Structure 1
Amino acid sequence: MTISTQSFSTSLDALEAQFGRRVASRLALGSEQLPHDIGERLRVARQQAVGRRKLAPQLHAAPVVVSNGRSATLGLGGRWWTRIGSVVPLIALAAGLITISVMQDDDRANDLAEVDSALLTGDLPPAAYTDPGFAQFLKTDDATAR
């Protein structure tokens, strides 16, 4: 058993129309009991909502040029701009992360270069820093200096 998409959309449209009629009848029954000024504000609000609903599908339509009784779309490529608009922030994010990574690597290299230059230009030979007795001497020297 197969259902064609046309009959399916027709049945959905019929259900939607039936639901709309039921809601409208309930609103009409309830609005009879309201004061006149509130009823008028509701009527105006309904008219505005219906007007907006009729305009909404036209916002996404492509512009149409009519010439000699034939119509053609301009083909502005709405999907193309949407794709570019969604890819540009990702590219910017990736570029920012790469820039941060490079800057941090440069900072680490500069810090290590400062330590190396301090070791090589200092008064002690580099082998002294690996001596466990020297590390103990530094600890006790810091404790007595306080």
Structure 2
Amino acid sequence: MNTTKLTTLRDPEVLQARFALRVTAQLAQHAERTPHDVTERLRFARERALERARQVRRSAAVEAASNVQSMGGAAALSGGGRSPWWLKLASFAPLVLLLAGLSLIEQMHDRNQIAAAAEIDVALLADDLPPDAYRDAGFVEFLKTSQE
């Protein structure tokens, strides 16, 4: 008989129920001592919270009903289970936009590379040295002596 009493005391649900009973008993005992203005404010706050909960439930129910009606209307417009051709075509629009964006990025990258190569060519051709001098093995020596 002692083992059943110990197992019920270790059960979390039983412990929670006992704790809840103790807390409610303490609250009920101290509720008589609270001032009148505090109890009125608590009552008013409780009523407002209940009204908000009712409004949330109503708006959720209205939203769910409108979703069901809109789904039914869309199914009726689409002809049962078949979707119209324009809807199928519109589903490919993101893919087309993605491909167009990627090609635009590639073109911009190519233009930037061409511009960078053109800047290097202009710098080489506008320099005092001929382009063949850059291939010469003694060019590094020439640069060292010209800087000093």
- TM-score w.r.t. the length of structure 2 is 0.48
Whichever structure has more helix as a proportion of its residues is 2
Q: Which structure has the greater CA radius of gyration?
A: 2
Whichever structure has more strand as a proportion of its residues is 1
